[in-house]
Amino acid sequence: MSVRIVCLLPAATEIACALGLRESLVGRSHACAFPPDVAGLPALTRPRVDPMLHSGALDDEVRRVHSTGQPLYVLDEERLAGLAPDVVVTQAACEVCAVSYEQVAAVTRRAAPAAEVLCLLPARLGDVLDDVRRVADACGVAARGEALVSTLRRRLAAAASAPRPRPRVAVVEWLEPPMLAGHWVPEAVEAAGGSPVGPAPGQASPYVTWEQVRALRPQAVVVAPCGFDLARTAREAESLATTLESLAPRVLLMDGNAYLNRPGPRLVDAVEEMAAWLAAV
């Protein structure tokens, strides 16, 4: 009998599908949209704030909801019970990006007590690959996990092996107020042939000022706001174009939501895109 999987994190949904488990998925989060056909699955979460607000207003609204003690996301307990999952995959890396582990664990204990709750907590690039193995093991396809990890490692090694200069690279993860990307992003920059400036690998993403970014003397800046696709990134970066161009001679706008912010297989796509861009001096 096949396992029934609910993924409440977009990266987890992508991992499951990359492992050939698409037909075993029975539920997803509201943000899970890749591969595109997962949009037909029941969505079990919804945000309490409007994710389409401008970045400054969105940051303010997230702070306001946090101040009330409410979770940022609502999890549909009744629908989860009806799906009767065997495995529920969630995360504990960021309460802003997705429903929290504590909330998922509490709701699952009531709604689907027999289900295994698998919590992903990636902080470094290697953790993302380890999470592929963990999802594969929990879903009974360990060999597929090892094969996928081997493929991803080969691609990362190929990107890192290309001879090129190693420019100083800052990755902007939020625009208003500005934030520099931490966690796995510094190692992704390094794998792409850059020398990351800002937080050390594994550290949380800090709020900064543009003056602090400028003081790091980046030679290239990647703008990849968390949760923003490329079109939205371009819209919000437009009003800051002069500021961004003053930080470094080269600025790359990326689809952070699909690639760099998401700790799943497409993070390797982000490394390859950055590597090609950094090499095109």
Q: Which residues pair with 267 in a beta bridge?
A: none
* Residue 74 within a domain: yes
Number of domains in the chain: 2
Confidence of residue 281 (pLDDT cuts 50, 70, 90): low
* Residue 18 within a domain: yes
* Residue 150 within a domain: no
| Residue range 125-151: mean pLDDT, rounded | 97
Q: What are phi and psi of 2, to 5 degrees?
A: -75, 155
Q: Residue 82 pLDDT more than 90?
A: yes
CATH number at 177 reads: 3.40.50.1980
Does one domain contain both 111 and 172? no
Among residues 116, 99, 107, the alpha carbon closest in space to that of 80 is found at 107
Does one domain contain both 166 and 263? yes
**What is the structure's pLDDT at 239?**
93
**What is the structure's pLDDT at 95?**
67
* Residue 238 within a domain: yes
What is the number of residues in the chain?
281
Choose one of 121, 150, 177: the last residue of a domain.
121
Choose one of 58, 89, 121: the last residue of a domain.
121
Residues 135, 85, 23, 93: is their CA dihedral positive or negative?
negative
Q: Is cis: bond before 47, omega within 30 of 0?
A: no
Range of the domain at 108: 5-121
Q: Which residues contact 114 (CB under 8 A, 6 or more apart)?
A: 86
Does one domain contain both 26 and 77? yes
Does one domain contain both 170 and 83? no
**What is the structure's pLDDT at 53?**
80
CA neighbours closer than 13 Å in the CB half-sphere of residue 46:
6
Does one domain contain both 208 and 266? yes
Both structure tokens of 271: 């490394």
* Residue 184 within a domain: yes
Does one domain contain both 99 and 171? no
- The whole-angstrom separation of Cα 265 and Cα 167 is 25
* Residue 155 within a domain: no
Confidence of residue 64 (pLDDT cuts 50, 70, 90): confident
163, 137 contact by CB (below 8 A): no
Choose one of 95, 121, 147: the last residue of a domain.
121
**What is the structure's pLDDT at 196?**
97
Among residues 124, 176, 168, 131, the alpha carbon closest in space to that of 149 is found at 131
**What is the structure's pLDDT at 61?**
81
- The whole-angstrom separation of Cα 226 and Cα 104 is 22
| Residue range 214-220: mean pLDDT, rounded | 97
Which range among 39-53, 60-74, 81-95 shows the weakest confidence by mean pLDDT? Answer: 60-74
Does one domain contain both 30 and 79? yes
**What is the structure's pLDDT at 26?**
97
- The whole-angstrom separation of Cα 12 and Cα 148 is 14
Element (H, E) at 59: helix 55-68
**What is the structure's pLDDT at 101?**
86
**What is the structure's pLDDT at 119?**
94
**What is the structure's pLDDT at 69?**
75
Does one domain contain both 58 and 108? yes
- The whole-angstrom separation of Cα 171 and Cα 181 is 6
